[in-house]
Structure 1
């Protein structure tokens, strides 16, 4: 059975989305990726509306069964952290409104899972997503991060299935 996973890298200016399919053997296939540019809106509340509308349209179009989202990290600027949290909340609402299960991963966990080190930079993540998903050309950074979230969840999910426990239990055992 193939499962479609929507990965989300939330942002208050751009939110990355990446969609992959993972089969029963754990093989991953790229489906779609893009940044959702929120700066087209005239104010922050309208950015959140753009995010909700765009994610709803992507969920309708691609029909994912699961969602993986990056956890918020502490930003240097409290205002930025609040806006990031609000964008993340809006993204989660888009999934919850469709009754999709949400799995959360910290940035360091994602980088460790896809690059091999928790302190990897964006260029390394972009490169690994290209290699792992057999994509040509440079992948936009937010979209690459979203693909990395989805790939992380696919790998955690495959490990959980192999050992007979939930994906949440796999990550909690680290």
Structure 2
């Protein structure tokens, strides 16, 4: 199965995780890019540069990223969207296909229900990846996105096999 880079974008902290997908995903790295208090365009550049380094070091084959949710604060949603754009550009510059998942999809894949809280995500990601000790929330969310993508990719692969063996489309 593919090596997957999961991203939880943020304008102050961007979580990332690289996992080996498969029946039992395994962790390569799980961490965060903590951005200094500099002007916003500089932070976007740091997200791009930081993720470019992660891609060069861990050589993922695919990237999965959390979709922007609609926020009450339009300015915050716009900044989050721009952080996502910087992350997507880092992947696109390296030729990685990008898949997007809503927070609800990720929570359902990890915890089994779409309204799980941060602590539940952190706990389940730790259990699924065999991580002992606490995981920073943004890094756990990024790993959750990667695991969600691995599950979706496995299901899609099985469906293609089922379609090809039944002759149906």
TM-score w.r.t. the length of structure 2 is: 0.93
Partner of 1:59: 55
What corresponds to 1:138 in structure 2? Answer: 134
SS of 1:99 mapped into structure 2: coil
Q: Which residue of 1 aligns with 2:70?
A: 74
Partner-residue secondary structure (3-state), 1:164: helix
Q: Deviations over 1:52-111 (max 9, x none)?
A: 110000000000000000000011211101000000011000000111000000000100
| Structure 2 residue 14 is the aligned partner of structure 1 residue 15 | yes
Contact residue 41 and residue 50 of structure 1 kept, 8 A? no
Q: Any idea what SS the aligned residue of 2:96 has?
A: coil
Q: Is 1:92 aligned with 2:92?
A: no
Partner of 1:36: helix, strand, or coil? strand
Whole-angstrom distance in 2 between the partners of 1:162 and 1:78: 40
1:147 is matched with 143
Q: Does 1:116 align with 2:112?
A: yes
Matched, 1:160 2:156: yes
Whole-Å separation in 2 of the counterparts to 1:126 and 1:154: 18
Q: CA deviation at 1:32?
A: 0.2
Distance in 1 (alpha carbons) for counterparts of 2:26 and 2:42: 33
Total equivalences in the alignment? 161
- Normalized against structure 1, the TM-score is what? 0.90
Corresponding residue of 1:27: 24
Measure how far apart 1:27 and its partner are.
2.4
What is the SS of the residue equivalent to 2:139? helix
Offset, 1:7: 0.2
Return structure 1 stretches of 4+ with deviation > 3 angstroms. none
Q: 2:42 aligns with which of 21, 31, 46?
A: 46
Offset of residue 41 of structure 1: 4.5
